[in-house]
Amino acid sequence: MTGTPPRTPPAPAAGAPLKRSFIGDLRMKVIYRILAVAVALVVAAAAVVAGLVWSGSAEQPGEERPGQIAAPSTAAPSSGPASSAATTTAAASPTAASPTPESSPTPDGSAVKAALADPRVPELPADKRLGRLPGKAYSTKSRVRDEKSGVSLIRFGKPWKPYGASPFATRQVLPAARGAGHRAMLVSCPVPTLVQATPKDTALLAARWTLNHHPEGGRISWVASQPTEDGWLLAYKVVYKVKGKTRSSMAAVALTEVSGKKPALVFMTIPDSQRARWRDINTAMASISPI
């Protein structure tokens, strides 16, 4: 008996598409890309959750935000028992730790000794009033009010004119003179030197300081030294060389005590090429008054 032959599956119809699984249709490159995106989304979600947990813990009462640092103490470090006592006093009194005001006197005289050791500055003469200097007297009712220094003084008319004040509080100048070596000026400002126990000593330091505003190598020769109603006046010549030729300027400083401020300084200098204006020094120094 012959067996029944096995059944052969029917051949697909011509032109019919073959059926495949969805995964089989995708290329491996595409599958890797999908997996990478999925992993990135999972990592980002984990980071957001962690950030929320950290932020919540930092906001608990009594805790600081991360990164916040307390400001350091302004107290100076202690160097021993004396410093500790000073720190304790400063804590009890806010003004006790304040730096020494610039207007506090230095009565030990060390600054004056240093000034007189300068070969450009001779010993102060015995008190002597400023005499009438060469030139014609000038009078005007116009005034310059120096609020910063606490004084007022004369405002000269032509040929004097106001000029850029810096580094002073006020400044008036004459036209530049050929060969003078510097420009004549009348200025005011709070005294730029250490304040001494007496106005006379402070004026001495101020006079030495004014050499910075004269030609290099200038030396002082005193003309007058006198008390004023509110301070002290020093008048002097400054001798120097300009292009090998000896020249000079007449100058003066007036120190005026001002309530609640450093003393005010009025400084004036006029070169010898404008000698006809030297009398203006008398006028300017006599015009100074506290505001």
DSSP for 60-109, written as a single string: STT-PPTT--PPPP-SPPP-SHHHHHHHHHHHH-TTTTSPPPTTS--TT-
Return the CATH number at 185: 3.40.1000.10
For residue 169, is it within any domain? Answer: yes
For residue 233, is it within any domain? Answer: yes
Q: Parallel, antiparallel, or unpaired: how do β-strands 170-173 and 231-242 relate?
A: unpaired
Q: Of 34, 55, 76, which residue sits at a domain end? A: 55
Triad 146, 149, 152: Cα angle to 5°? 40
Tell me the two tokens of residue 61.
């009462």
Q: What is the pLDDT of residue 82?
A: 39
Residue type, 288: I
| Residues 215, 152 share a domain | yes
Closest CA to 253 of 216, 215, 223, 291: 223
Q: Is this structure's pTM higher than 0.75?
A: no
For residue 6, is it within any domain? Answer: no
Closest CA to 130 of 289, 282, 284: 282
For residue 82, is it within any domain? Answer: no
Domain count along the chain:
2
How many of the other CB atoms lie within 10 Å of CB of 168?
Answer: 22
For residue 181, is it within any domain? Answer: yes
Q: What is the helix (H) or strand (E) element at residue 126, kind and residue range? A: none
For residue 133, is it within any domain? Answer: yes
Which residue is associated with the tokens 């126990």?
Answer: 197
For residue 139, is it within any domain? Answer: yes
Q: What is the pLDDT of residue 49?
A: 45
Tell me the two tokens of residue 188.
């005011």
| Residues 143, 207 share a domain | yes
Q: Of 55, 72, 100, which residue sits at a domain end? A: 55
Query: From first to last of its 291 residues, what are the pLDDT tens digits of the chain?
Result: 445 555 555 554 444 444 444 445 555 655 666 666 666 665 566 655 444 444 443 333 333 333 332 333 333 333 343 333 333 333 333 333 333 334 455 567 899 999 999 999 999 999 999 999 999 998 888 999 999 999 999 999 999 999 999 999 999 999 999 888 899 999 999 999 999 999 999 999 999 999 999 999 999 999 999 999 999 999 999 999 999 999 999 999 999 999 989 999 999 999 999 999 999 999 999 999 999
| Cβ atoms of residues 267 and 120 within 8 Å | no
| Residues 173, 47 share a domain | no
Which residue is associated with the tokens 């002597």?
Answer: 128
CA dihedral 235, 237, 238, 243 (to 10 degrees): 150
| Residues 261, 133 share a domain | yes
Residue 173 is part of which domain span?
110-290
- The span from the CA of 194 to the CA of 253, in Å, is 15
- Sheet with 143-146, strands from edge to edge, namely 143-146, 151-154, 289-290
- The span from the CA of 209 to the CA of 183, in Å, is 17
| Residues 164, 42 share a domain | no
